[in-house]
Structure 1
Amino acid sequence: MSGKGGGRGWYYKEKYGGGGKGGKGKGGKGKGKGGDNSGYGPSSRTEHGFSDHSSPRNPGVISGTSQDLRQMLMQIDGRGYKAYKDIEGRWSFPGFMLIIDHAQSDPFASPSNCRVQVPQSAAKMPPATMSSKIRRLALCDFLTRKFAAVVRATGADQRTEGGGWSGAKGGEMTIDVPGQHVLERTSVIVDESNVEARFTVALPAQGRSVLGGWAANILVDQLPGFVHQALSYEQLDGAAIASHLAVVEDAEWLRAEIGRHGLVAFVADGSVLPRQSGASDTPMDAASAIPFASPPSLAKEFTLPNRGHVRGMGLPAGVSIIVGGGFHGKSTMLQAIEIGVYNHIPGDGRELVVADPTAVKIRAEDGRSVAGVDISPFISNLPFSKDTRHFSTPDASGSTSQATNIQEALEMGCSTLVIDEDTAATNFMIRDARMQALVAKDKEPITPFISKVRSLYLNHKVSSILVIGGSGDYFDVADTVVMMESFSPRDVTAEARAIAQRFQTAEGAALMAAASAAPFGSVAARAPLALTATPELGKVATRSKALISFGDLEIDLSAVEQLAEKSQTRCIADSLAFLKSRMVNGTKTLSQLVEQLEAMWDAGGMDVLAPTMHYGHYARPRKFELAAALNRVRSLRISPK
């Protein structure tokens, strides 16, 4: 700090006189309790403050007590907004520590990042709630929801916007509110020493002047009550916590167990699969929904660690087809299965709907960019001799995009494909005998999926679960056929095989036999050479769950249907910046890059993406969705390996 010493806010203390007692008190010019808080603010490279720098302050230094914080806020009241920088640091409250990692420098900037750390001696979380990784994860999820509910109940999550630009504004406190899924998050972190909750506060302003009294009311008066109600086990509903952890633990156990029994999906009897609406992920009212009931021939039974006996429909590995009339629940069941890669909260209706954790939903995606993907198992003999073993295009068709999506999923280790014909390319899925008679094979570059689905399983042990409503030809390649009738499933495998036999022609039988016998083809690894964004230091911003701005590029993830929450997209966005600056150099394959980043998360959590900021708004994505975003960066350059 060039001899200035003191805290990170020394410049603002010099300019505004903050810090109390003529600048010589807490944090003033290095002579008080502020210690060495030197460091860096958020980087301009991302709206989330992605930074390459280490921690900006000595984590052991305490800036003062809660009353010292109140005094400082009152001293800077009415001064320029940047005087809020003075309050960055650690503040000791009765029973917990408040840490202000980053105070926003403008009332219109992203809210300030704060944390509270409650020692276990005060939180008193029972050891049983932290006895395994999955129970700890579920506990963090429960505490996040509780903290959000407590804040919401007082209206403290509501922003004030009064009197235009010069009026009072801000004041809201927010924590990352989860949806129906139980994911690994950074909003609450629990270990043997502390319970840490991370939240943001829009520090209040009048125009661009500090409203210190209002800020003190939020941080000093209201916050202790929130912490006490949400993060102290003695104030919580122990039975609700136990239920939350049990439901998540059972689902996690069941997901692992179905693989050992040769299944790729399981839907428990009594599950409520329909959602309230297309805009809501909450379950349909139980009085209106039809509870799921397994066909006897597909019924499987398990004994869960907490719930005990459960019965439901098990889909075996291989090729499973879901058929039925329109509006009878085919896609509803498929959507429940595809999101069964995640755990769900009690009351969701899909608590015991689980799928192979590597299952990937595949669809056509007209217009997506493709970088160096081997789509030759499906596409060959393109006009003008375009190479499909290292296929690149800025504007993929429906068929080439679906072939690409499959190959990219296989490259990342997917072992179950999930496909709904409603979102698939028709010419990629099927070519009937009449079309084959008219368009000769040497004039058609597409080998349809129906001709590869068997060899995909036989050669690579990759199963497929498909919703098919318009082509009975798939009966020839299916191991299991389930018909949905008024949202009730029926095993019609024997009937479908009989129909396939009845309508089979000699030519069709020969085609199917040849397709099953032919090897699937290759799945090539690729090494990213460069991941560029212009301008070079442009922001990485999460616009929505399905849209990331990467410099002046946009990454459209609307076809990546297993992204469950925007918090996962935030993590992906900052992961792209991290990969670009530190890891992408042509020496590692794409799958190696993603697996290395996942190993870093396993060891140090998602904080590795922005170690100075301690963000609470990340939820961990799967490697498949992270790779999907990387593959959709239009400036991606790839080398085959």
Structure 2
Amino acid sequence: MKTAEELRNLLGQIDRKSYPAYKNLKGSYRFSGYVLGIDHVQGDPFAAPSRVHIEVEEKTAGLPERLYDKQWKKMALEDALIRIFASGIRKYSFQAKGSGKSGLIRVTNCGQEVLERTAADIREDGTVILRFEVGFPANGRTVNARELEKIFFQYLPSCVQETLYYKNLDIRKLENVMELSEDQEAIRRQLKEYGLVAFVADGSVLPRMSGVSQKPMKDAVPFVSPESVRVTLKLPYYGEISGMGIRRGITLIVGGGYHGKSTLLKALEMGIYPHIAGDGREYVITDPDAVKIRAEDGRSIKHTDISMFISDLPNQKDTVSFDTEDASGSTSQAANVIEAMEAGASTFLIDEDTSATNFMVRDELMQKVIHKDMEPITPFIERMQYFYKKFGISTVLVAGSSGAYFQVADVIVQMDRYQPREITSRAKEATAGYQGLQFLEKEIQKPIMKRCPKKNTGLEHRGRIKLKTLGKDGIMLGSETIDLRYVEQVADEEQLNCLGYLMRELETHRMNGKTSICELVESLYRDIERQGLKDVLGERELPGNLALPRKEELCACLNRYRGLQL
């Protein structure tokens, strides 16, 4: 490891040289109170910025262990430090001048969710690591070392002291972060104790500001639970908290258009993640294995058993090992259900608006006119109760057009001007005069799929698989595009970045034609938990723009990968 003065001397030696001379700076340098690591140097001033990190030892950072001694507390504190550091460094970005991205200083832009990110890492010994990007300054394509010296010797030292030294931070704010993480974890634990799939606290603000902003809507109607479904939980810091408990089984959410049905479901979808204080949904907690299911026209399906829903197709196409490059609404939604089961889903979250109608329901008149022998689709409504009774998988369904769901629902909640009303008895009484749907009596078995992918040798270019993230729309693995637009529980673009790395790890080192998709994913996540993401991915230094997705999202990515070799 070199000293800060050696870095200053190196900067003096390369000043005004050709831009590639910056590569001589790669390495670690000890400053007063921390280590600066220069991990990757950009090729020119217009390329992606250089990757650097700051490492502050425990005795200097001074973070009390009680703030990070549990995994969920550690993740919450890392998230808080990223936000604090980002706020502090923002005023220095582009203060150093030059061409292209010269002077840019950028750290992860966290959203409303608290995610496990590589931008920050608190090690067991209390050492704090922050990873971020710096645009090394240039005049044209010539090194401007004097401007970089300002970043390394003026801006960063000041920011590190202000944002990463516990003694200089808002201690009460950090305590609140820890307390909220403990309370959120306590709710998550109590879901199982109370037989719930989700909890929505009274006073929660569910509507978002807009389609492009996930911040809470101003002047929104606070959520208040119906008395009949209200539960009260005890939290270590908040104390007693009351709200709507969504019980295991079949819950139907109904109501008029624009009254908040889909808004409630969206909050439940994202309740798999902790949320920051002030989000409005910080006490909306959903079973972490809940999966959003929707139709997805045009997606790829690889040898998936959808016969539970679709069979006896007129073209004799095999639905026990269904394969297509261009799925319809019904076949895609059937595949999504089966793949979610395979990935270990505990709850299906479904919105009628994003579902294939013929997959979801056939009313009694259609059953009379089109005999069952003529219809290859067994609609989801006929399987909902069986999913729960046989496999323990609950369903939360938003519906606004068909009252047929009243017949199978255990609990029915009406959204009325963003306020929930429990109307189960009234809805069941209303169905008494109607002829019920005719359901199959035949017992069904859970599909057992052993799809074992093998390495796609055509992906590698010069011994390496290239990665590219397409915003939140998907990723490119080599020349293969994986469309993830409709995997709706991906919260952040950085999760897609990480999915790319995980897919490359699976393709490069783990796919062998003998291990199933779910076994591959389970094994990979066990290794991540045991060894850490850095060692599993084999990276010398992790980039600071990755956020770990759930196993369910990695399974979804594999299942939408057209280059998957089975």
1:487 corresponds to 2:418: yes
CA offsets, 1:373-404, max 9 Å, x none?
11010010112211111111000000000000
Query: What are the residue-to-residue correspondences of 1:566-585 with 2, within 5 Å?
Result: 566-585=493-512
The separation in 2 between residues aligned to 1:293 and 1:71, in whole angstroms, is 64
1:435 corresponds to 2:377: no
CA offset at residue 157 of structure 1? 5.9
Aligned to 2:103: 171
Deviates more, 1:83-92 or 1:187-196: 187-196
Aligned to 2:179: 246
CA offsets, 1:401-446, max 9 Å, x none?
0000111110010010000000000000011122222222222111
The separation in 2 between residues aligned to 1:436 and 1:334, in whole angstroms, is 30
* Letter aligned with residue 334 of structure 2: A
Residues 294, 141 of structure 1: CA spacing in aligned structure 2 closer, same or farther, 3 A cutoff? same
Aligned to 2:240: 309
Aligned to 1:263: 196
Aligned to 1:49: none
Aligned to 2:486: 559
Q: What is the aligned-residue RMSD (CA, Å)?
A: 1.5
1:106 corresponds to 2:44: yes
Query: What are the residue-to-residue correspondences of 1:605-620 with 2, within 5 Å?
Result: 605-607=532-534, 608-620=536-548
Residues 493, 158 of structure 1: CA spacing in aligned structure 2 closer, same or farther, 3 A cutoff? farther
1:533 and 1:552 in contact (8 A); partners too? no
Q: Which of 540, 555, 559 is equivalent to 1:627?
A: 555
Task: State the secondary structure of the residue aligned to 1:170.
Answer: coil
The separation in 1 between residues aligned to 2:527 and 2:446, in whole angstroms, is 33
Aligned to 2:470: 543
1:538 and 1:552 in contact (8 A); partners too? no
Task: State the secondary structure of the residue aligned to 1:297.
Answer: helix
Residues 93, 603 of structure 1: CA spacing in aligned structure 2 closer, same or farther, 3 A cutoff? same
CA offsets, 1:438-487, max 9 Å, x none?
22222211100001111111110000000010110000100010000000
Task: State the secondary structure of the residue aligned to 2:406.
Answer: helix
1:522 corresponds to 2:454: no
Aligned to 1:54: none
* Letter aligned with residue 310 of structure 2: I
Task: State the secondary structure of the residue aligned to 1:385.
Answer: coil
Task: State the secondary structure of the residue aligned to 1:380.
Answer: coil
* Letter aligned with residue 518 of structure 1: E
Q: Which of 572, 589, 599 is equivalent to 2:526?
A: 599
CA offset at residue 520 of structure 1? 5.3
Residues 435, 134 of structure 1: CA spacing in aligned structure 2 closer, same or farther, 3 A cutoff? same
The separation in 1 between residues aligned to 2:542 and 2:89, in whole angstroms, is 20
TM value normalised by structure 2: 0.97
* Letter aligned with residue 582 of structure 1: H
The separation in 1 between residues aligned to 2:384 and 2:343, in whole angstroms, is 18
1:159 and 1:169 in contact (8 A); partners too? no
Task: State the secondary structure of the residue aligned to 1:134.
Answer: helix
CA offsets, 1:326-359, max 9 Å, x none?
0000000000011100000000000010111100
* Letter aligned with residue 151 of structure 2: I
Q: Which of 196, 199, 210 is equivalent to 1:277?
A: 210
1:221 corresponds to 2:154: yes
Residues 499, 518 of structure 1: CA spacing in aligned structure 2 closer, same or farther, 3 A cutoff? farther
Residues 535, 327 of structure 1: CA spacing in aligned structure 2 closer, same or farther, 3 A cutoff? same
The separation in 2 between residues aligned to 1:249 and 1:588, in whole angstroms, is 37
Deviates more, 1:216-225 or 1:312-321: 216-225
The separation in 2 between residues aligned to 1:490 and 1:547, in whole angstroms, is 38
CA offset at residue 66 of structure 1? 1.6
- Unpaired stretches in structure 2, ≥5 consecutive residues: none
Aligned to 1:78: 16
CA offsets, 1:86-114, max 9 Å, x none?
11111010000111111122222221111
CA offset at residue 533 of structure 1? 5.2
The separation in 2 between residues aligned to 1:408 and 1:434, in whole angstroms, is 31
* Letter aligned with residue 632 of structure 1: R
1:389 corresponds to 2:327: no
2:94 and 2:102 in contact (8 A); partners too? no
The separation in 2 between residues aligned to 1:479 and 1:417, in whole angstroms, is 15
1:498 corresponds to 2:435: no
The separation in 1 between residues aligned to 2:365 and 2:96, in whole angstroms, is 63
Aligned to 2:230: 299
Q: Which of 468, 476, 483 is equivalent to 2:407?
A: 476
The separation in 2 between residues aligned to 1:264 and 1:635, in whole angstroms, is 35
Task: State the secondary structure of the residue aligned to 1:327.
Answer: coil
1:587 corresponds to 2:514: yes
Task: State the secondary structure of the residue aligned to 1:343.
Answer: coil
CA offsets, 1:470-511, max 9 Å, x none?
110000100010000000000001111111222135xx3xx1
The separation in 1 between residues aligned to 2:510 and 2:472, in whole angstroms, is 25
CA offsets, 1:149-183, max 9 Å, x none?
0011x1416896x7xxxx56511111112100111
1:367 corresponds to 2:298: yes
Residues 416, 525 of structure 1: CA spacing in aligned structure 2 closer, same or farther, 3 A cutoff? farther
* Letter aligned with residue 549 of structure 1: M
CA offset at residue 610 of structure 1? 4.5
Q: Which of 265, 278, 281 is equivalent to 1:347?
A: 278
Q: Which of 84, 90, 93 is equivalent to 1:156?
A: 93
Q: Which of 453, 461, 469 is equivalent to 2:384?
A: 453
1:254 and 1:354 in contact (8 A); partners too? yes
Residues 156, 501 of structure 1: CA spacing in aligned structure 2 closer, same or farther, 3 A cutoff? same
Task: State the secondary structure of the residue aligned to 2:431.
Answer: helix
CA offsets, 1:304-326, max 9 Å, x none?
11111000000110000000000
The separation in 1 between residues aligned to 2:100 and 2:444, in whole angstroms, is 68
The separation in 2 between residues aligned to 1:328 and 1:299, in whole angstroms, is 20
Task: State the secondary structure of the residue aligned to 1:447.
Answer: coil
The separation in 1 between residues aligned to 2:206 and 2:295, in whole angstroms, is 25
Aligned to 1:230: 163
CA offsets, 1:292-311, max 9 Å, x none?
11000000011111111000
1:144 and 1:175 in contact (8 A); partners too? yes
Q: Which of 305, 321, 338 is equivalent to 2:269?
A: 338
1:371 and 1:637 in contact (8 A); partners too? no
The separation in 2 between residues aligned to 1:533 and 1:268, in whole angstroms, is 51
Aligned to 2:141: 208
Aligned to 1:22: none
1:139 and 1:245 in contact (8 A); partners too? yes
2:45 and 2:100 in contact (8 A); partners too? no
The separation in 2 between residues aligned to 1:168 and 1:535, in whole angstroms, is 31
CA offset at residue 532 of structure 1? 5.5
Aligned to 2:565: 637
Q: Which of 7, 10, 13 is equivalent to 1:69?
A: 7
2:45 and 2:138 in contact (8 A); partners too? yes
Identical counterparts, % of pairs: 44
CA offset at residue 518 of structure 1? 3.3
1:182 and 1:248 in contact (8 A); partners too? no
Say how many residue pairs are matched. Answer: 562
CA offsets, 1:357-380, max 9 Å, x none?
100000000000000111010010
CA offset at residue 526 of structure 1? 2.0
The separation in 2 between residues aligned to 1:620 and 1:178, in whole angstroms, is 13
1:151 and 1:157 in contact (8 A); partners too? no
1:548 and 1:573 in contact (8 A); partners too? yes
Residues 597, 306 of structure 1: CA spacing in aligned structure 2 closer, same or farther, 3 A cutoff? same
Mark the structure with the bigger radius of gyration: 1
* Letter aligned with residue 438 of structure 1: V
The separation in 1 between residues aligned to 2:391 and 2:101, in whole angstroms, is 58
The separation in 1 between residues aligned to 2:148 and 2:100, in whole angstroms, is 12
The separation in 2 between residues aligned to 1:418 and 1:281, in whole angstroms, is 20
1:452 and 1:520 in contact (8 A); partners too? no
